[in-house]
A and B are shown apart, each in its own frame.
Chain A
C-alpha cells in the first residue's frame, strides 16, 4: 500500500514538473500566456471536462469504466433545460434536477452491470448508444436556444467564473469523499481487489450504485454548466468527448485495472492538456496539429508509466532473490 502511495506521489510530482517546465517556457516565449485573462479563460474552457473527469475517476478507481457519461450529460442537459424553459426555476432547482436525473441514469448502469454480470465497458457502451440515440430520436436533433436569462447570464464570484467555481467545488468534494469517507476508501478497496472487498463486508451492489450514480451525477452537472457556458442546448454537442476525458484521467495516473488514481493527478492531467493546447495556439501552431500532439503525449505518458513499473517489478524481483 505504501509503495502504491509513493507511486502516486511520484507520478504527480513528475506531471507537476512537466507542467511547470511547459508553463515557464510558454510564458517566456509568449507574453500573452502569462496574462490573467488567458489563464482564467483557460480554466473556464476546461471546467466542464474537469467535472466529468471527477465522475469518471471514481469509476476507474472502482475497477470499472463508464463510456456513457457524455450521453448522460447530453440527455440530462436537454431534459433539465426543457423543464426550466417550461416551468421556470432557479439555480438550486436546476442543480437538484440535473443531479437527480444524471444520478438516476448512472444507477441504471450500475444495476445493469451488477445484475447482468457483464463488463462495465460493454454495458455502458450499450446504454450510451440507447440514451443518446433516444435523445436524438425524440428531439430530432433540434437545439434549444430560448434558455431563461437568469440561466445564461454570466456569473462571477470574487472574479471567478461560475463554471470554474463549480468545477473546483466538485473536485474538492470528490477528493474529500475518496480520501476521508468510508465509502471512498471502500471504492479503492473494490478496485484493488473485489474479492477481498466483498469478504471485508463491502456491499458491492451499493458501492457500484454509488460509483456509477456519482459519475452520472457529475455528468448531469457538467451538462448543466456546459449549457450555461454556451447559452444553448445542442443535443450532440457533448458526444465524442468521452474518450478525451478518459485520456485526461489516465494522463493523471489513474489505472484502468482499478484501485489507483487521485483527484490531484486528474487535475494535473487536465492542466497538462489545457496548457499544451493553449501554449501551442499562442505559439501560432495550427489548431489542427493539436490532436497529433495530444496523441503523442498520451502514448509517451502511458509508455513511460508502464516502463518504470516494469523496471521496478524486475528490480524488486532481483532483490527478492
Chain B
C-alpha cells in the first residue's frame, strides 16, 4: 500500500453552544478555510445552524455536527474554522453578534475549544448611531476576514461572548510522512518502513 504520498486528517465534532452576555437568540454561519496543499475529501465546509433561543444568562445550544476529511502533503495551511454569529434584535432585525476563528486541533484526540468572539467597531460615532438606529451594525464584507492576517491591524473591534466547540482529530499516515503531532512517542518514528 503506497500510503506515504499524502496523509489524511479526519475531523469530527460539533458547534455545541454559544454564550453572549445579554443575547437571547443566535445562529451561526461557519466556514472552514485551508491552504493550497490541502484537498477536501468529504464533509461540508460551509454551513448554517438553527436559531437557538434561551434565557439571558443561559447558554444557547446548537449541537450542530461538523465532519470533515482532508488530505495533504504539507501541514502548512491546516484547516481553520471561522464562525460568524448572528441574532435577531428586539425589532426582528438580523444583526451581527460576533466573529471568531481557530485552527482545528493539530493534536489527535478530543479537544474542547473556546472561540472568543469579536465584532468590528464603526469607524465614527455617527456611523455607530445610524447603525444602531437601522439595525445595520458594522460587519466584515468578507466572512473569511477573521481568519486572515493581512490588514488586521487596520480594524478596531469590540469583544464579548464565546462559542464552545468540541472537536476530535484523527490522523492517518502522518508518521509515515515523517510528521509527529505528539500522539506517538517520538522515538518510534523512523520514517517509512
A and B found bound together: no
Residues of A within 8 A of B (CB): none
Residues of B within 8 A of A (CB): none
